Amino acid sequence: MKFKNVKVPEGINVSRHSPVADFFILSTGIVVGFAALAAGLLYFGAALARHTPVSWENALAGALFEGRDPAVNVRTTEIVEELQALADRLSIYIDLPEGMTVTVHYWDDDQINAFATLGGHVFIARGLLERMPNENSLAMVMAHEIAHVAHRDPVAALGGVVLLQLLLAVALDTAPTSLEQLVTGPNALLLSGFSRETERQADTAGLHAVAALYGHVAETSTIFEVFLKQPEPPELLSTHPLSRDRIDRIAALARTEGWALDGPRTPLASPLVKPPAAVR
């Protein structure tokens, strides 16, 4: 058999598409694939962390938070005692995991914020406390955060963030953020950014606890009315449901459960009224 060298047609190795289009398609595929991997790691890490023993979470929280409370004066100590007393009353109506207790901290910051983190530690900021007109409104905030503790949301968030940090460290060839920095440093609020669904679940559990404690759910929407006065990102870009939706959901749930939307307001205990900044 005789072979002959066939001339290769010109342009056979040239793409029929624009190089720019090929680059865009390739880049988009990489970004989508990385995002899918990140989402999978967040979900897997969260699911795995929820099933870790409570004793492990408590031990980790003890090691991280031991000795970290700032020096306080007597009046600030009274504030913490009043906040803790309210948390204890609400915890009766929220099904905490066996071995988990709630420890409340007064956070000397003007942010309108509160968050729950590992080991049942709940932080209430001065800025939020100063805007609560009565105990009922504060109780909704407290019950919501206790519900996060009950649902193991903080440790789930940590599990997801740790796996995502490892992925980023490998991809970018950098050292991952330490566990201590994630939980106690400037990045601590990352662990309070739960999903919209976990926020709705915490709202529901919190409302049940408030209704059981007071016999009505008056003032439970106060915190969300405060948030309405602040700029809010679009819901698609937020880990929290929109404040207006949460207010409407409270009213709808009250109708479904037969809870009164009005009732006696309990005044805040005197140490909680315009609390002073903690002594540093």
pLDDT over 70 (residue 224): yes
Residue 223 contacts residue 247 (beta carbons within 8 Å): no
pLDDT over 50 (residue 280): no
pLDDT for the residue 9? 63
Q: Is the dihedral of CA 139, 141, 142, 145 positive or negative?
A: positive
> Is the pLDDT higher at 101 or at 64?
101
Least confident of 1-5, 13-17, 86-90: 13-17
pLDDT over 70 (residue 41): no
pLDDT for the residue 69? 59
pLDDT over 60 (residue 173): no
Q: Please give the span between the terminal C-alpha atoms of the chain, in angstroms, as a whole number.
A: 95
Quote the CA–CA distance of 50 and 155 in Å, as a whole number.
6
pLDDT for the residue 165? 63
> Residue 107 half-sphere exposure, CB side, CA atoms within 13 Å?
21
Q: pLDDT-based confidence at 48, cuts 50/70/90?
A: confident
Residue 200 contacts residue 86 (beta carbons within 8 Å): no
Q: Which of the 8 DSSP states describes residue 14?
A: S
pLDDT over 70 (residue 163): no
Least confident of 127-136, 148-157, 237-246: 237-246
pLDDT for the residue 188? 47
Specify the DSSP element, H or E, that contains 116: strand 114-117
pLDDT over 60 (residue 233): yes
Quote the CA–CA distance of 16 and 216 in Å, as a whole number.
69
Residue entry with tokens 């609020």: 189
pLDDT for the residue 93? 97
Nearest to 60 by CA among 177, 189, 158, 127: 158
Instruction: Write the burial class of residue 185 (CB in 10 Å: 0-12 exposed, 13-18 middle, 19+ buried).
Output: exposed
Quote the CA–CA distance of 95 and 92 in Å, as a whole number.
8
pLDDT over 80 (residue 22): no
Residue 259 contacts residue 216 (beta carbons within 8 Å): yes
Quote the CA–CA distance of 44 and 119 in Å, as a whole number.
21
- Mean pLDDT calculated for residue range 221-242: 80
pLDDT for the residue 44? 62
116 strand-pairing partners:
122
pLDDT over 50 (residue 268): yes
- Mean pLDDT calculated for residue range 215-227: 96
Residues contacting 225, CB < 8 A, separation 6+:
243, 247
pLDDT for the residue 255? 96
